[in-house]
Amino acid sequence: MENVVQVEVRWSECDPFSIVFYPNFFVWFDHCTWKLFQAARLELPMLREKFGFAGMPLVGAESAFSRPVRAHDAVAIHSRVSHWGRTSFKVTHRVMLGAEQAAQGLETRVWTCTRPDEPAGIKAVRIPREVIDILDGPAPR
Amino acid sequence: MENVVQVEVRWSECDPFSIVFYPNFFVWFDHCTWKLFQAARLELPMLREKFGFAGMPLVGAESAFSRPVRAHDAVAIHSRVSHWGRTSFKVTHRVMLGAEQAAQGLETRVWTCTRPDEPAGIKAVRIPREVIDILDGPAPR
Amino acid sequence: MENVVQVEVRWSECDPFSIVFYPNFFVWFDHCTWKLFQAARLELPMLREKFGFAGMPLVGAESAFSRPVRAHDAVAIHSRVSHWGRTSFKVTHRVMLGAEQAAQGLETRVWTCTRPDEPAGIKAVRIPREVIDILDGPAPR
Amino acid sequence: MENVVQVEVRWSECDPFSIVFYPNFFVWFDHCTWKLFQAARLELPMLREKFGFAGMPLVGAESAFSRPVRAHDAVAIHSRVSHWGRTSFKVTHRVMLGAEQAAQGLETRVWTCTRPDEPAGIKAVRIPREVIDILDGPAPR
């Protein structure tokens, strides 16, 4: 399952060199991961109730940038889970500017649940089979 | 030469899970790269005048996150150039929360000059020897 | 002429209290002003070429917030120029969450042109009649 | 009681016109309000425990901008509570660039407490006398 999000670059997402300030690509990646889950009908309230889900913090993030993106450009970001570990997973994001790829990013996230007895109150746990099956399957209609 | 920047985490840099929204680490890295150049007395107006410098856009960025950082935490970010290529260079950033490392980032940047004849108006060029020597040397007093 | 922009609230636009961090309303207002100009076919390159336009910096900004907006809410922002001065103008933005108004903002901006002889390189000048006529007229089809 | 926060303008806080993107002034104002409370030893965990404090959302925000601020400028922001209502209060922020005032902002905030029986889970309540007395008094040493 892949999800595509259209992003129109805001003026304010560009820096004084008139190109996108690079951390904003990661802002988009994060947004696209949430949209991927939403497209799969894995919404936050349901995840909280059903699995005790407490977020999916990042342990790693990276991106390669191959061409500049500018204010008011319209990009399409293609996102999918590209790897499942036991408690962690990777989301790949391709930023397309028309037919050309402008950037490719990778987020490594950890699946966590609330654990009142833990010092941080949360704990990395095994990713639910159901979540994996949905995100590995076809997009819901 | 290494430069250290103290950053106090703003409330607004945290997300609804009450930890730093991860793209903000990259916002800090960018700021720290500019501060490194500034500490080396390589300020933007001088670079523009002397070398025709037109910015140092990113071709890659990555970070590993090893522990959560929260609102009002005070972090110290240690930054240095860790690799020189011909037209590109890498800046390493270590985010320390007290004695513990909370994140480690790497930016890969390209040195560019203004080139009115180029389509984009800028071009990646060989990094000036003088810039390398200063950033490889001791911090100015 | 009024322009409407749909904004889907990003997770990262919310703070640890899980509501939109209020400066993001102003980020949206700025974006909506650019979109209003764009909808009127008053694009930045044209404005630069035809009028020597050098931006429309803010001299004032304000907003009232009447109900909380949350991650993944879809808001519609209605924007129009509500006042024309000689060199300044006001843009009103209404943020609608369904049928309810969540916020109303007002930006006061100054029309500037490049003036190489001025210390700042720009100067507030009389707003071109053509610009006023277009933005006071009906939306182009 | 007035609190002063030093802010060094980040490159990324500027837009393609090379001046601070105006919503960032509000980002600073918010940060300065938290710092004011912190300077008064009214920290979030204490407020939560002692008063059931659930945040101080904005009902209004405004700013006048009198001169441009640029990357790497160092500004000093002077913040104090300028008005107490029953459940709301106003915080005034003056942004100084050396001896000159660059901006002046005003936030109107509502004091809220957790109320599990309310639809939103929070409710605007009378501001505790103790909080008013501390913020109206001299800065703690």
d(CA B92, CA A65): 18
Which residue would you say has higher pLDDT here, A95 or C18? A95
Residues of A with CB under 8 A from a CB of B: 17, 19, 21-24, 26-27, 30, 54-55, 57-66, 68, 120
Q: D122 forms bridges with which residues in the sheet?
A: D114
**Of C26, B57, B48, nearest in space to A69 by CA:** B57
Q: What are phi and psi of C135, to 5 degrees?
A: -75, -20
Give the contacts of A7 (CB within 8 A, at least 6 positions apart): A28, A31, A74, A75, A76, A77
Residues of D in contact with C58 (CB under 8 A): 22, 65
Q: Which chains touch D (3 or more CB pairs under 8 A)?
A: A, B, C
DSSP D24-37: HHHHHHHHHHHHHH
Q: Out of B12, B18, B23, whose CB is closest to C21?
A: B12
- Position C141 scores a pLDDT of 67
Q: Out of A59, A63, A65, whose CB is closest to B65?
A: A59
Q: Measure in Å the smallest separation between the Cα of A59 and chain D Cα atoms.
A: 24
Q: What residue of C is the nearest CA neighbor of D62?
A: C62
CB contact under 8 A, C34 and A27: no
Q: Are C135 and C36 in contact (CB under 8 A)?
A: yes
Instruction: Assess whether pLDDT exceeds 90 at residue A130.
Output: yes
pTM check: above 0.90? yes
Give the contacts of A122 (CB within 8 A, at least 6 positions apart): A54, A55, A112, A113, A114, A115
Residues of A in contact with D16 (CB under 8 A): 11, 14-18, 71
CB contact under 8 A, C71 and B16: yes
User: How many CA atoms lie within 13 Å of B3's alpha carbon, on the beta-carbon side?
Assistant: 24
Joined together, the tokens standing for residue B23 give 């793209």
Q: What residue of A is the nearest CA neighbor of C55?
A: A11
Q: B81 forms bridges with which residues in the sheet?
A: B91
d(CA B107, CA B89): 8
Q: Are C65 and D60 in contact (CB under 8 A)?
A: yes
Instruction: Assess whether pLDDT exceeds 90 at residue D141.
Output: no
Strands A112-114 and C112-114: unpaired
- Position B116 scores a pLDDT of 84
Give the model confidence (pLDDT) of A89-125 as tens digits.
999 999 999 999 999 999 999 999 988 888 778 899 9
Residues of C in contact with A72 (CB under 8 A): 34, 38
Least confidently predicted of A82-86, B70-74, C120-124, D24-28: C120-124
**Of A64, C52, C65, nearest in space to D61 by CA:** C65
Q: Measure in Å the smallest separation between the Cα of C44 and chain B Cα atoms.
A: 18
Q: Are C128 and C48 in contact (CB under 8 A)?
A: no
Chain B / chain C CB contacts < 8 angstroms: 24
Q: Which of D10, D12, D18, D70 to mutate to test the interface with A (most CBs of A within 10 A)?
A: D12
Chain A / chain D CB contacts < 8 angstroms: 24
Q: Are A138 and A3 in contact (CB under 8 A)?
A: no
Q: Which of D41, D46, D72 to mutate to test the interface with B (most CBs of B within 10 A)?
A: D72
ipTM: 0.94
CB contact under 8 A, C63 and D60: yes
Residues of B in contact with A59 (CB under 8 A): 64-66
- Position C118 scores a pLDDT of 80
- Position B141 scores a pLDDT of 66
Q: What residue of D is the nearest CA neighbor of A12?
A: D15
Give the model confidence (pLDDT) of C95-126 as tens digits.
999 999 999 999 999 999 988 888 778 899 99
d(CA B86, CA C109): 45
List Cβ<8 Å contacts ≥24 apart for A47-55: A47/A131, A51/A113, A51/A128, A51/A131, A52/A113, A52/A114, A53/A111, A53/A112, A53/A113, A54/A112, A54/A113, A54/A114, A54/A121, A54/A122, A54/B17, A55/A112, A55/A122, A55/B17
H-only helix segments in D1-76: 23-39, 44-51
Q: Report residue D17's pLDDT band, with 50, 70 and 90 as the boundaries.
A: confident
d(CA C40, CA C46): 12
- Position C89 scores a pLDDT of 98
Residues of A in contact with B26 (CB under 8 A): 22-23, 26
